Amino acid sequence: MMWTETPESRDNQSGISLTTTDTNEETSISSIVWFRNNLRLCDNLPLRDSARRGPLLPVFINEDLSGTEPEGARRWWRARSLGRLDKSLSRLGAPLAFFRGDPAVILPDLAMQLKADRIVAMDAVDPEDRRIQARLAEALANRPVEIHRFPADYLIPPADLPAGRTSPWKVFTPFWRAAQSRLPPPYPLPTPDRLDGIPFQCTESPDDWGWEPKRPDWAAEMRAFWTPGEEGALNLLKDFLENRLENYAVGRDVPDGKTSSFLSPHLANGEISPRTVWWAIENSGAVGADREKFLSELGWREFSAHLLWHHPDLSTEPLRKDLPEMPWREDGSSLLAWQKGQTGIPLVDAGMRQLRRLGFLPNRVRMVAASFLVKNLLVDWRKGREWFSDNLVDHDPASNAASWQWIAGYGADASPWFRIFNPVLQGEKFDPDGRYVKAFVPELAGLSPRYVHRPWTAPSTLPEKAGIGEQSPYRNPVVDLGLSRKRALDAWSSLRG
């Protein structure tokens, strides 16, 4: 049998129909396995469970009908990851079927046509995904198809906490203490040996979805730097354990080179499960500060999901309802300078240019760049959150929203408003030679460490300064750091009366 679009199929809401090559053949499968943010074979509960029940169809649905949703960088990543997942599933006997449209329409139609017993997926955490899953459940209400959802991809599924408490946690430390008391997580499940797939042909392919940029091709460096997919994730984890876990607690703050795990895009796309990462650390025999620090970073991922689960409007509404809104400035040109990495503040610009080139920037630089936008430029944190969501290959709605709220002082356990990162001091502390800054801001290549993070202070007679023209933002940054800091603190004081 094979998938084709037929004239009759247009009667279906989904516009697809199953035609068999042998018309007498009765089509019937056990499970439709709906892949979303779990693009892997290993430790994949829906896949593993379905594999032992009989014939199955693995499915991925492109839900972005307009093609205009943010997450451009993550879509690029996903296109690559899906290609690899399809190959891996094909090797086991069940290629991935691609569709485009509304899952709440496509999946029920598909289930009826295939006479599938069940649709299996992972629980969603993001509110939009939860809405889609709720609509799907409604659409299946009167049909003989069961929808089975497995716990979301966390060490402790957000729905399971807080157990025995009346309200969700607002502070990380007690949250993580309580979470740790429920660890270790179950051991990761192995990849199924084989899958009983059904032969089919579908009319959709990720190659036609425009997720790979062409003109302009902004993903060229990302292609060279990253290896999306499960194999890339496992190799990166091995490399991290062998070369970077030792000294992680200190090294993670150094932006030059690979000092942290760089696993975030793989985790955000579900190419590796947090349980696999957790057990790899456990089995590595690592002890002490490096181990604890790394596991607590995984804890922040859990905490962010906890916040989003209990506060579905986390992306737009401040968690701290008691704090008044800042008098945000509508300053399009400063926002643009920040987005393009042209503010004249070296560490901020390096981070923002790295973001455009690699879809990533290290945690320390994320904090500095975000603080600069929100506090020195007094631009609404939601604008920063949105820009990150479009440009990060590791975009995760929970971690992104929670982190921006934290920086802006509105979040749970937030950094207070008066904590304003000084990008010059941060640069001099964590990038003392200026190697990171120079890698992304080549205009500063000639400056010595003394001036590389504060080029506007270099004497104009200095030959090193030759490459920085009069009009360069590195002579006149978009804001004076001292004055803009004072403006932010004054705004805060006036709001508090």
Ligand X SMILES: Cc1cc2nc3c(=O)[nH]c(=O)nc-3n(C[C@H](O)[C@H](O)[C@H](O)COP(=O)(O)OP(=O)(O)OC[C@H]3O[C@@H](n4cnc5c(N)ncnc54)[C@H](O)[C@@H]3O)c2cc1C
Q: Establish if 156 lies at the interface with ligand X (CB under 6 A).
A: no
Part in contact with ligand X (CB under 6 A); list of ranges 2-10, 278-286, 307-315, 390-398: 390-398
Q: How far is the CB of 116 from ligand X (least distance, A)?
A: 34
For residue 316 the two structure tokens come to: 């737009």
State which residue, 102 or 239, has the beta carbon closest to ligand X: 239
Binding mask of the shown chain, residues 197 to 236, with x at each position contacting ligand X by CB under 6 A? ----------------------------------------
Part in contact with ligand X (CB under 6 A); list of ranges 63-71, 117-125, 181-189, 298-306: 298-306
Q: How far apart are CA 135 and CA 128, in angstroms?
A: 11
Q: How far is the CB of 429 from ligand X (least distance, A)?
A: 17
Q: How far apart are CA 165 and CA 171, in angstroms?
A: 14
Q: Establish if 260 lies at the interface with ligand X (CB under 6 A).
A: yes
Q: Establish if 252 lies at the interface with ligand X (CB under 6 A).
A: yes
Q: What is the DSSP letter of 159?
A: G
Query: CA–CA distance from 376 to each of 193, 418, 474 (Å)?
Result: 55, 11, 16
Part in contact with ligand X (CB under 6 A); list of ranges 13-21, 210-218, 281-289, 397-405: 397-405
Contacts of residue 456, Cβ cutoff 8 Å, sequence gap at least 6: 344, 474, 475, 476, 477
Other beta carbons within 10 angstroms of residue 226's beta carbon come to 21
Peptide bond into 184 cis (omega under 30): yes
Part in contact with ligand X (CB under 6 A); list of ranges 60-68, 297-305, 347-355, 481-489: 297-305
* The residue type at 480: D
Report which of 46, 36, 6 is spatially closest to residue 23, judged by C-alpha positions. Answer: 6
Q: Establish if 300 lies at the interface with ligand X (CB under 6 A).
A: yes
Q: Establish if 37 lies at the interface with ligand X (CB under 6 A).
A: no
Query: What count of residues does the chain have?
Result: 497
Query: Are residues 275 and 190 in contact, defined by beta-carbon separation less than 8 angstroms?
Result: no
Q: How far is the CB of 13 from ligand X (least distance, A)?
A: 34
Report which of 281, 280, 277, 272 is spatially closest to residue 228, judged by C-alpha positions. Answer: 272
Part in contact with ligand X (CB under 6 A); list of ranges 52-60, 169-177, 401-409, 487-495: 401-409
Binding site for ligand X (CB under 6 A): 252, 260-264, 267-268, 297-298, 300-301, 304, 362-363, 366-367, 370, 388, 392, 394-396, 399-400, 403-404, 407
